[in-house]
């Protein structure tokens, strides 16, 4: 009897150990291609940034249902209203119950026109540039930063009287501070602007997620200038290689950054892990 009980306890222990990811308690950042990032915090909260998961660079979109593949999502953060940043937001929200983190006008029109559930947004998560909110019972603090871009939202009900594009509020970026983890700065699709140096002075940025593809955002050399202004320790380039008009790779950007930060060029579907604010793998 005692031996059978001991065996069951040992089996349960083994199940818990092997069912727990090796990075439990760390911060895991996964790039899903284009501008879509998934962040899992040390306590297990899941943030999804600019979820166009059906983008052509995402291997999960080729293999099956990329929305099902991501699993749990607690918060969806959207920098601006362009289709390549909001395309799967409403569908993902309906599947997961994720609350929307965005500017107020974008939230309103995503609910009205794209079907994002209104009950999954509110004054606790809708804010504006310069504002700061806390998520996940205080584990995550998000500050909305300026961006020099545009933010038109596609109108699926467009006709002769209703425009194709509607107001999506001002474009922005996010500084995401994780308790016990790194501080991230997502530039969104901004052009370079000199006041990026203010972000670098105000925050000790561990990882900058920087658009580098040009044409619609920063050209690689100007993205490198943004790195010089913000002074992160690590940089993950994004918004390249998705369309023919974008930079096909990150080689020019990496060369322009030089030794000012460690550039981590991720493949879609790849993850990096931080233990505290230190790169673990």
pLDDT at 15: 39
Identify which has the larger pLDDT, 225 or 17: 225
Q: What is the C-alpha to C-alpha distance for residues 232 and 186, in angstroms, rounded to an integer?
A: 11
- Residue 8 inside a domain? The answer is no
Exposed/middle/buried for residue 236 (C-beta within 10 Å: 0-12, 13-18, 19+): buried
- Partners of 174 in the β-ladder: 144, 186
> Which ranges constitute the DSSP H helices of the chain?
2-19, 59-63, 66-70, 83-86, 89-96, 104-114, 196-202, 220-230, 251-257
Q: What is the pLDDT confidence band of residue 24, given thresholds at 50, 70 and 90? A: low
Residue 11 has pLDDT above 50, yes or no: no
pLDDT at 214: 96
Residue 81 has pLDDT above 80, yes or no: yes
Q: Which of 8-22, 85-99, 185-199, 224-238 has the lowest mean pLDDT?
A: 8-22
Residue 18 has pLDDT above 90, yes or no: no
H or E element, residue 103: strand 99-103
Residue 73 has pLDDT above 60, yes or no: yes
Helix, strand counts (H, E) of the chain: 9, 17
- Report helix, strand or coil for 243: coil
- Taken in order 231, 37, 186, 249, the sign of the CA dihedral is positive
Q: What is the pLDDT confidence band of residue 10, given thresholds at 50, 70 and 90? A: very low
What pLDDT, in 10s, does the model give residues 139-154?
999 999 999 999 999 9
What pLDDT, in 10s, does the model give residues 30-58?
999 999 999 999 999 999 999 999 999 99
- Residue 281 inside a domain? The answer is no
- Residue 126, domain CATH: 3.60.15.10
Number of domains in the chain: 1
Full domain range(s) for residue 158: 23-275
- Residue 5 inside a domain? The answer is no
What pLDDT, in 10s, does the model give residues 216-253?
999 999 999 999 999 999 999 999 999 999 999 999 99
Q: What is the C-alpha to C-alpha distance for residues 119 and 100, in angstroms, rounded to an integer?
A: 10
- Residue 186 inside a domain? The answer is yes
- Residue 15 inside a domain? The answer is no
């Amino acid at each position: 009897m005692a031996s059978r009980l001991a065996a069951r306890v040992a089996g349960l222990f083994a199940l818990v150990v092997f069912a727990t990811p090796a990075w439990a308690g760390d911060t895991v950042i996964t790039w899903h291609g284009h501008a879509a990032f998934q962040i899992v915090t040390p306590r297990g909260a899941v943030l999804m940034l600019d979820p166009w998961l059906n983008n052509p660079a995402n291997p999960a979109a080729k293999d099956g249902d990329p929305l099902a593949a991501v699993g749990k999502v607690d918060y969806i953060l959207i920098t601006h209203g362009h289709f390549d940043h909001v395309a799967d937001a409403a569908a993902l929200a309906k599947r997961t119950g994720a609350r929307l983190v965005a500017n107020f006008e974008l939230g309103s029109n995503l609910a009205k026109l794209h079907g994002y559930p209104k009950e999954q947004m509110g004054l606790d998560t809708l804010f504006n540039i310069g504002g700061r909110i806390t998520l996940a019972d205080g584990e995550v603090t998000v500050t909305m930063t300026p961006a020099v871009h545009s933010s038109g939202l596609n109108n699926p009900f467009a006709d002769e009287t209703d425009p194709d594009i509607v107001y999506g509020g001002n474009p922005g970026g996010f500084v995401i501070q994780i308790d016990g983890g790194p501080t991230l700065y997502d530039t969104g699709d901004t052009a370079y602007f000199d006041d990026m140096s203010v972000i670098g002075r105000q925050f000790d940025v561990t990882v900058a997620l920087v658009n580098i593809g040009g044409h619609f955002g920063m050209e690689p050399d100007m993205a490198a200038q943004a790195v010089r202004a913000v002074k992160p320790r690590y940089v993950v380039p994004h918004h390249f290689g998705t369309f023919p008009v974008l930079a096909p790779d990150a080689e020019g950007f990496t060369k322009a950054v030089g030794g000012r930060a460690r550039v981590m060029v991720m493949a879609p579907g790849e993850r990096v892990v931080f233990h505290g604010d230190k790169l673990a793998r």
